[in-house]
Structure 1
């Protein structure tokens, strides 16, 4: 694996026989540096390589300090891409397992959302910081863009900056039995097993509307129970339980995020140029207190 002293392209770095990497999108901001710590934690648990991607604005994507006043958070202290990736790699090296302590890096040019979306084609997971705008009342365009269009699951880091990762807390997954939420159930079990964590599966009460931010699908309870039982058999080491909830699933998940280490949700929107995250996902990107993993139907 290339060291952090040299940059690579993802095609140069990945071979056909490689385990798909966890890919971290970074811009040197405090949010992306906290996301780096979490990405190293996940990559180590999955025994997956870690690739750090920093994107420089290309023609038509340039920003000056006066043209981005709506972004929330401090501007970059040093826009030099080499400094950004070195700082990110240093943070990863001080807090990660030996297998991912020396991540590969790539410096690309263009639209950050477009570049990261393309890299996600070959990723186990794409990790980005919680970029926000207008005082956190809206989700920033890069975060929204990759969540809407990425081909792999996308983890958006949210949490307490600088605080230890809450490894002892459970993974919480939302599953209503529909095809669009099966990937969230699968990822929930896989990640809970890899992290040595418990898994709590939340499902809407059958036939009860889910509220403004997530209407419950009318799915036979037997189908949900069958899916749960099947995944539990495949992952016998995972301590899992199922909870039925009424009302807005998005609000329930947001409250549950205070005592979870990760939320895993599906999104019914199809991947594509005109795709947009659904309302439940957008609500969680603004209100979750822990990282959120968004999984799309394959």
Structure 2
């Protein structure tokens, strides 16, 4: 049993179609985990703090689309336990604070009020960088996918939590896992010996996981590519999930994940999980 067993899945909700897509994904995940789905909306009140009446109106409006989000969750995952909460404050601050007691935080790639033309919303970037638990960012209009869970690893060891998350998710979903390590030797002509060594070392690293999960289809893929995000995006066109690690919580104000995390969140056609 994982350390997050029993903790809720939290989905950030506004009135956007993207957030409702995130609710659908989160509802199925909460039901699969046997835990509660918490739908959270952050209300930003721009008037004077003393105008309590306006605050009440804002919260009343929020509860209407939270009610709709709860209906969507129950339609998507009948039997899932759903709780709703509308609170005054900034979405990033509230979601990061709540992430300390959550199994997952799930967000749409864009919300209302986002910068037109931006590849990924600022709330998704900043929560993914600052949360205390894994964060799942669900893209808009994602087609149903039945391919493997793709996870990126590197020699630093910072990706070990991402690997564990991916394998445990795959075991629960009965999905294959494709473990991708991007390497580059700096040579114009690739060195076959280096490539073979990278592949062998990756397979050796995964041997203990293969013994622990003998029924799980785990594929190791060492790819010569200086851009890790490109290797992950190209790993399988039907990937159902891409999982990536990060070396720690980034500064929330800047939403810093690094180039790999940012590129995946901006360009992946499937949900992306950022594991700290």
TM-score range, shorter chain: 0.7 to 0.9
The structure number with the bigger radius of gyration is: 2
Q: Aligned to 1:107, what secondary structure does the other structure show?
A: strand
Number of residue equivalences:
250
Q: Which segment is superposed worse, 83-92 or 225-234?
A: 225-234
Please report how far the alpha carbon of residue 226 of structure 1 lies from its aligned counterpart in structure 2 after TM superposition: 4.1
TM-score, normalised to structure 1, is 0.75
Residue 38, structure 1, aligned to residue 32, structure 2: no
CA contact (8 A) 1:35 1:157 kept: yes
Residue 56, structure 1, aligned to residue 43, structure 2: yes
Equivalent residue runs for 1:253-292 within 5 Å:
253-256=232-235, 258-273=237-252, 276-292=256-272
Q: Tell me the residue number matched to 1:232.
A: 210
Question: Is there any run of 5+ residues in structure 1 with no aligned partner, and where?
Answer: 1-16, 63-77, 210-218
Residue 160, structure 1, aligned to residue 138, structure 2: no
TM-score, normalised to structure 2, is 0.81
Please report how far the alpha carbon of residue 196 of structure 1 lies from its aligned counterpart in structure 2 after TM superposition: 1.4
Alpha-carbon displacement from aligned partner over 1:187-240 (angstroms, at most 9, x marks no partner): 1101101111111111123x536xxxxxxxxx9777644431222222233211
Q: Aligned to 2:133, what secondary structure does the other structure show?
A: coil
Distance, in Å, in 1 between the alignment partners of 2:43 and 2:140 is 26
Q: Aligned to 2:229, what secondary structure does the other structure show?
A: helix
Distance, in Å, in 2 between the alignment partners of 1:271 and 1:237 is 36
Residue 293, structure 1, aligned to residue 265, structure 2: no
Q: Tell me the residue number matched to 1:68.
A: none
CA contact (8 A) 1:257 1:289 kept: no
Alpha-carbon displacement from aligned partner over 1:84-115 (angstroms, at most 9, x marks no partner): 111111111111142x1x41111121010000
**Which residue, 116, 123, 128 being the options, matches 1:147?**
128
- Residue 293 to residue 257, structure 1, CA distance change in 2 (3 Å): farther
> Cα RMSD over matched residues?
2.7
Please report how far the alpha carbon of residue 20 of structure 1 lies from its aligned counterpart in structure 2 after TM superposition: 0.8
**Which residue, 175, 178, 188 being the options, matches 1:200?**
178
Q: Aligned to 2:7, what secondary structure does the other structure show?
A: coil
CA contact (8 A) 1:59 1:110 kept: no
Please report how far the alpha carbon of residue 18 of structure 1 lies from its aligned counterpart in structure 2 after TM superposition: 7.3
CA contact (8 A) 1:32 1:129 kept: yes
Distance, in Å, in 2 between the alignment partners of 1:40 and 1:190 is 18
Q: Which segment is superposed worse, 191-200 or 271-280?
A: 271-280
Distance, in Å, in 2 between the alignment partners of 1:255 and 1:122 is 34
CA contact (8 A) 1:61 1:110 kept: no
Equivalent residue runs for 1:47-86 within 5 Å:
47-58=34-45, 80-86=61-67
Distance, in Å, in 1 between the alignment partners of 2:202 and 2:48 is 45
